[in-house]
Amino acid sequence: MTVAVTKLHILPHTIDRFCFNDHLRTPLRPCFRRPGFGTHRGRYGLYVQRCRSFRSDDGEEKEVKSNKGSGFLTSFKDVLFGVSNSEYDRTMAKLEEVFSSIAVQIGRYIVTMMSTGVVLAVGFQLSGGDSQMNTLIWYSWLGGVIIGTMIGANMVLDEHCRAGPRNVVITGSTRGLGKALAREFLLSGDRVVVASRSPESVDMTVRELEENLQEGRVTAGGSPRTNLERAKVVGIACDVCEPADVEKLAKFAVNELGSIDIWINNAGTNKGFKPLLQFSDEDIRQIVSTNLVGSILCTREAMCVMKNQTKGGHIFNMDGAGSGGSSTPLTAVYGSTKCGLRQLQASLLKECKRSKVGVHTASPGMVLTDLLLSGSTIQNKQMFNIICELPETVARTLVPRIRVVKGTGKAINYLTPPRILLALVTAWVRRGRWFDDKGRALYAAEADRLRNWAENRTRFSITDAMEMYTENTWVSVFSLSVVCAFIILSSTGSTS
């Protein structure tokens, strides 16, 4: 054990009387000085000196061991911080993290300036040396830089304020998309409650997610590893059709996490693709109870918790086929429940207009899960090759947007019009992607997918770089190029 002992020297004459400045006739305060920093003894009579030994209780004089790293830096650390080596190391680690974050933001700004500089150079090249046109291009460039900087600064502050862990509840999260969402939230440093009807499935999923989290902690470094240290996963069995179970789920989440920031109603079921006449009474009851009644009960319980929280919270209901009112032949019951959720969303937006609770929708599109594949035909699977995605891929896109949602009434979609267009254009390439001509699955099992997915997740790619970069800054760069193009075309009188 390291012991630091200080010896205090006080000269008696400086305690009895103070020295006065002959010119100003004002008293001078006693001064604490450390020997070795150009001080001299006796002028102000009071200084501090480190002792090399101390006397123990049994009267034996013992040598005091100096701390590691003695010298000027250690003395400077003691004078400036007055902390132990471990506290000093933690302080330095925090400073390093702050400087690293600042460096990243400066790098983003430099990339923005370089991007706009390219646009500026192209504008000058196309202007043909016209001084008036060059002036207009300069003004548009300067305006774009200012606007982009303001937007980027706002986004940086917003990301900083929202960097802390979220407390997330996900129903139906022991398989498929729900489990993928839970895993993605965990690897983002959040605390997650998984829920499903089967206690055995909940326990198995919690153990599996804890293993994924531990692997993430091993491979991560720096700030991401610090975030993962705060991540946590717990689970409870819950039948969303039963009000008592839903209330129990909410109380469990509050007791385990302290509050609920995000609640995702992901639990859903379907009984295959077939005409309504072939659905049994039990099939209809289960679909309506799980998809519609369960979502209503969970939404109500989440609102009860979040309305009493200082920062409120956000509720997400999962969209699906038929939510927009379109027909869903062979899945009429499922489609009607999703259409009912859209009506629920519209009603709650007006009820919660002045509330701290945000009500949103998340649309994952078509995901390769048991819910989608149950009862599907070979023709269905050939279409799935073109438009479907794996749960891990969809969760990787949805979770970052769900984590930073603000306000209410947001719609977070995976299958956006550009993605649909891209899928249709590349349909000939996507044939046989998931299923062969006989409908047999070609994609890897979940365990193998996760292994490859975890490896790819740690690699830095151009896609990750674009996701890390502030989206609004890219918008400002693009807008600037449009402004420059408009000025050039309008000035030259081109009819292109």
So which residues are the catalytic ones?
334
Contact of 107 with 470, CB cutoff 8 Å: no
Q: Count of H helices and E strands in the chain?
A: 19, 11
* CA gap 137, 148 in Å, rounded: 16
Closest CA to 215 of 226, 202, 227, 228: 228
Give the dihedral sign, CA 434/188/233/311: negative
Tell me phi and psi for residue 441, to 5 degrees: -70, 135
Secondary structure of residue 191 in the 3-state scheme: strand
Question: Count of CB atoms within 10 A of residue 62's CB?
Answer: 11
* CA gap 299, 351 in Å, rounded: 13
Position 426: which residue type?
T
Q: What is the DSSP string of 464-488?
A: HHHHHS-HHHHHHHHHHHHHHHHHH
The torsion angle over the Cα atoms of residues 320, 324, 325 and 326, rounded to 10 degrees, is -70
Number of residues that make up the chain? 496
Q: 206 to each of 95, 115, 176, 298, 436, how far by Cα in Å? A: 35, 45, 14, 21, 34
Structure tokens at 113: 């300036």
- CA 308 to chain centroid: 24
